[in-house]
Structure 1
Amino acid sequence: MVVYNELVAITAGAGLIGFAWFLTRLIGGLRIDSEGWAGFFGVTGVLLLALGLHTTITWPFGGDGFEYANIAFGQPAAGFGALLLFAAVYLWRHRALFAADVDPARRAALDALKPVAVFVGALGLGMAALAITFVRFQLGAAPPQEPISGRFGHLPLLEALFLGGLWGVIALGALLFAVAQLADRPSLLRWAARAWTVGGVVLLLFGAMNFYTHIGMYYNIAHGTSHLW
């Protein structure tokens, strides 16, 4: 089974942190380096869209009831990647606007994000449903061959609560962003940014850990070892 959820996780985590940072600067009236941010959103967006679409279409996670991972990981990644690419294109095309006065650029960017908020809210609803699904069906338990996470595999509710909580925090940020934009309640944007910062940091660290634990799992399977750390 060839998977790449490690790269998806750290890229999505970085994308969430980056967009939360960008949003905080935007609503704070700080100057935006549109070319730098366009590059960041472009790199993260391309990776997430490509890998998310591939996961969504080909279902590389398979067997032993693990097929749900294709839905839980691939589809949100594809949607988020497309949104990041939108941000990249917008910021690149409006370089002159962001290089001039801060306030007109800020107002224009927030206005441009209003229609996007519909899809952000839709993704938030999907992530909320996935959060409930993780807990309801106790999904996500690591196999015993996987170091660190596998030590808690006999407690499936533990990892289900972790993943459900993580997806739930990200969903909360998306729903707050949608309400803030569509109901004209800009004060909620800061709370959306905070939720995405927390979710992004946890997701990034979790994905980075999985580079170690997943390689350790394959090593244990291939060599018949039982490294737990």
Structure 2
Amino acid sequence: MLRPLSYFAAAMGLALISISFAGVGFQLFAAPPEEPFSGWFADYPMFEALLIAITGVGACIFPFFLKENPNSKLVNTLKYLWIIVGVVFVGFGGLNYFTHIGLIVPTIK
């Protein structure tokens, strides 16, 4: 039932890996140092790129997860990849609301 969706997820995983390389190459993930939270990672643009790449790897593994007898190591790897990245993305995404507003408000004055 999810097999067609899993192929799309794998293709999007390849896109995420490409985006992570492009983000590092073109310095898209470097937050301005003035941002309240994301600014702490201004000197570490690889942090966000690594999260995106790990998510991409997890998406690429997803079709193999749906096999009738999936490899238990593969299942555990996928589970931990998605748990770690999911928790960090939720925290980072939630704090981005604060940080973007925290960057905009001082520049309005």
- Coarse TM-score class (shorter-chain normalised): 0.7 to 0.9
Q: 1:127 to 1:152 in 2, by over 3 A?
A: closer
In the TM superposition, residue 136 of structure 1 has moved relative to its aligned partner by 2.1
* Match 1:209 to one of 73, 95, 99: 95
Instruction: Give the TM-score normalised by the residue count of structure 1.
Output: 0.42
Indicate yes or no: 2:16 matched with 1:127.
Answer: yes
Q: 1:170 matched to which residue of 2?
A: 55
The CA distance in 1 between the partners of 2:7 and 2:101, in whole Å, is: 39
Q: 1:120 to 1:185 in 2, by over 3 A?
A: farther
Q: 2:86 matched to which residue of 1?
A: 200
- Deviation readout 1:82-123 (Å, 9 max, x if unpaired): xxxxxxxxxxxxxxxxxxxxxxxxxxxxxx122221101111
* Consecutive unaligned residues in structure 2, runs of 5 or more: none
Q: Taking every aligned residue pair, what percent have the same amino acid on both sides?
A: 35
Moved over 4 A (4+): none
- Paired letter, 1:126: A
The CA distance in 2 between the partners of 1:189 and 1:176, in whole Å, is: 9
In the TM superposition, residue 149 of structure 1 has moved relative to its aligned partner by 2.6
- Deviation readout 1:18-46 (Å, 9 max, x if unpaired): xxxxxxxxxxxxxxxxxxxxxxxxxxxxx
Larger C-alpha radius of gyration, 1 or 2?
1
Greater relative contact order (CA < 8 Å, ≥ 6 in sequence): 2
- The question of whether the paired residues in 2 share the 8 Å contact of 1:145 and 1:221 is answered with no
Q: 1:82 matched to which residue of 2?
A: none
- Paired letter, 1:190: N
In the TM superposition, residue 165 of structure 1 has moved relative to its aligned partner by 0.4
Q: 1:181 matched to which residue of 2?
A: 66
In the TM superposition, residue 132 of structure 1 has moved relative to its aligned partner by 1.3
Q: 1:191 matched to which residue of 2?
A: 77
Q: 1:166 to 1:152 in 2, by over 3 A?
A: closer
Determine helix, strand or coil for the equivalent of 1:221: helix
- Deviation readout 1:197-222 (Å, 9 max, x if unpaired): 11110000101111221111111111
The CA distance in 1 between the partners of 2:7 and 2:29, in whole Å, is: 29
Counterparts of 1:66-215 in structure 2 under 5 Å?
112-150=1-39, 153=42, 155=43, 158=44, 160-181=45-66, 186-187=70-71, 188-215=74-101
- Deviation readout 1:45-95 (Å, 9 max, x if unpaired): xxxxxxxxxxxxxxxxxxxxxxxxxxxxxxxxxxxxxxxxxxxxxxxxxxx
- Paired letter, 2:7: V
- Paired letter, 2:103: M
The CA distance in 1 between the partners of 2:40 and 2:7, in whole Å, is: 41
Instruction: Give the TM-score normalised by the residue count of structure 2.
Output: 0.83
